[in-house]
Amino acid sequence: MTELPGAVPENRDAVQRALIEWYEADHRSFPWRETDDAYEILVSEVMSQQTQLGRVVDAWREFLDRWPDAEALAAADQSDVVAFWTAHSLGYNNRAKYLHTAANQVLDDWDGSFPETPAELQELHGVGPYTANAVASFAFNAGDAVVDTNVKRVLHRAFDVPDDDAAFEEVAGALMPDGRSRVWNNAIMELGGVACEKTPACDAAGCPWREWCEAYDTGDFTAPDVPTQPDFEGSRRQMRGRVVNVLGEYDRLALDELGPRVRVDYSPDGEYGREWLRGLVEDLADDGLVSVEDGEESLVVGLSE
């Protein structure tokens, strides 16, 4: 078995089975997940590019009521399609024009039948690699592994895949079961959408990959689209909290009395000395958390009342 970037488990069958079973047991219900009609799926993919999925549902249904297939859309006046797009706040109006042009291409160049492979689907006007692959996957079960922002986040966290497009493509492709792009791509995107969002919900969503997940094991949930949080230990945030906690035990303290209680390495003239502590307490004073007064020899700090 080919060695993959990151820490992908050797038992890929178990990884695949766990995700598919999790998805099939329960997932968000969207009407385009209940169809394998390429036209209907293309419309949903184009609409979803700029709009939250919950809002797309009604617009998608109304669009199909009005133009139920490629032939109906091709026969429509493009201005009517654009007007519909605008009325439903579906993002850039060019996408409505692209859909209309693509419908005409299906009739003129493909005899009314949608192309089925990602490469062929990209020949349709305005259809890029991601949309082409989604239609090939969900309409014809003939797509490649989807690699979008959510999928990258999942793979980076779960299997420590490096933040590199080629690595993501390699791992995503190796994990997808042969001939199952429809269920697999839906499942891994669902995982990124409900369990492995920027703020993870591993246990609440019953993430099926917890037993293999590097992030779940280490507690480090950073990802390509989730900036690394600064270490809390020794951070300014931690020191601010210590100042407030110390002052909760004392009425008022001069800087040199407060300093050693905040940092054991406090030295009046050192790196973490009076100048450093003065900046810290003045920030807290600006936030209204402490009061700062001039004492006989130094500043005196207390909690704000």
Residues belonging to the active site: 45
Query: What tokens appear for 62 in the block?
Result: 């109304």
Query: What tokens appear for 238 in the block?
Result: 């931690």
Q: What length does the chain have?
A: 305
- H/E run at residue 218: helix 214-218
CA distance 210 to 193: 16
Query: What tokens appear for 59 in the block?
Result: 């617009």
CA distance 41 to 33: 8
- H/E run at residue 253: strand 252-254
Nearest partner of 169 among 143, 148, 194, judged by Cα: 148
DSSP letters, 148-190, are: -HHHHHHHHHHH---S-HHHHHHHHHHHSPTT-HHHHHHHHHH
CA distance 160 to 4: 11
